[in-house]
Amino acid sequence: MPHDTQPAGSRARRFVWLAVGIAVFGLAWTAGWHFLADRIESRLPLTLQQLAGQQAKAECANAEIRGYPFRFGLFCDRISYDSARSGLRAEGGALRSAAQFYRPNHIVSELDGPFSFSGQAGEGRIDWRSLQSSVRLTRRGLDRGSLESQNISIDVDSTALSSRLGLRAERLSAHARKNELDADFAVYAEGVQSTLLDQLAFDRLTLEATLPGQATLLDAPLRGPQGAFDVRLHRILVEVDDTTSLEISGPVRIDETRRISGDISVTARNLQDLAELIARLDPQYAEIAGNIAPMLGAFDTVDGDDAITVPLTIRQNAVSIGFIPLGRLPAF
């Protein structure tokens, strides 16, 4: 029977060296983690200034880096943004975020409500039960990001609206990403209710669009499109219920004066109820809804289904079917 001829002292020394190595590695890791955390905290004001842009200020109150030993996370009691150039001011609740040490550019976060904002065009307040986000960053800004919320409420009072807008949704998600030179955006909502009209509700709302050549919109600091720009509407879908819906798709162009031109396809189910709903939503749309409803059946381009699909032409907010004018979209 073989015997272990290795001296007991040799095994003990190996065990001691292993324990010492683990302890040294742990101490080095701890020192390195705290060194990086201190660097992040010290550079945070400069990073926030770069994100905010010129003549603007972003603040993360009582900022602290947490997550030892394997994560780095930024925690704030309150977040705020103030732009002297645009007059926009915004403020939100506590922020909690985290990123794994081996993937520091992928950040998940959670924000407490409410979030309030005000500017030259109006003011608003957004609140929610939960709001979580996931973003992937590059040196230039955002590569892609997603936001998920539950039981969200949005209240906006703006000069661009005919009345104060109030929306409630059981679930709302928004997504943005760079797609080579383009920027892709999507918004999905479920269980939507609006205070614009009594008993106005939608089962689902969907927006999917691409802005060609606008990938730089996601670079820091984030900004809106400048000048004229194109939009590929993959789908704007409003599902009122199981029998009533409206879907819009097609390319459009928005000029410097924010007037819309394009050739789009509109698919409607239960057209009469939709026309009445659109007219109730905004009196400015009543003319178009009233003109379009009686004649759409004659222009249906898709046979054999329970929906009506027609092509619409928009030229600087003037809407028509072929040579038949229908009305004008309101300015925005």
Residues recorded for the chain: 332
Residue 93: inside a domain: yes
Residue 43: inside a domain: yes
- Cα angle at 214 between 209 and 220, to 5 degrees? 115
How many domains would you assign to the chain? 1
Q: Which pLDDT score is estimated for 255?
A: 93
Q: Which one, of 58, 29, 30, lies nearest residue 44 by Cα?
A: 58
Lowest mean pLDDT among 184-188, 246-250, 265-269: 265-269
Q: Residue 238 has which token pair?
A: 């409003």
Q: Model pTM? A: 0.83
Q: Which pLDDT score is estimated for 327?
A: 81
Mean per-residue pLDDT for 7-23? 77
Q: Which pLDDT score is estimated for 64?
A: 94
Residue 71: inside a domain: yes
- Cα angle at 270 between 269 and 272, to 5 degrees? 130
Q: Residue 129 has which token pair?
A: 């039960």
Residue corresponding to tokens 């645009």: 86
6 Rama sector, left if φ>0, alpha if ψ -120 to 50, beta otherwise: beta
Would strands 95-100 and 245-254 be described as parallel, antiparallel, or unpaired?
Answer: unpaired
pLDDT band at 269, cuts 50/70/90? Answer: confident
Mean per-residue pLDDT for 6-10? 64
Residue 294: inside a domain: no
Residue 277: inside a domain: no
Q: By the 8 A CB rule, do 93 and 85 touch?
A: no
| Tens digit of each residue's pLDDT (9 = 90 or more) over 52-68 | 888 889 999 999 999 99
275 contacts: CB under 8 Å, gap ≥ 6: 289, 290, 292, 293
Residue corresponding to tokens 């590695």: 25
Residue 68: inside a domain: yes
Residue 111: inside a domain: yes
| Tens digit of each residue's pLDDT (9 = 90 or more) over 158-176 | 876 767 888 899 999 999 9
19 contacts: CB under 8 Å, gap ≥ 6: none
Mean per-residue pLDDT for 233-240? 94
Lowest mean pLDDT among 108-112, 175-179, 276-280: 276-280
Domain assignment of residue 106, given as a range = 11-120
Q: How far apart are the two ends of the chain, measured CA to CA in Å?
A: 91
Residue 272: inside a domain: no
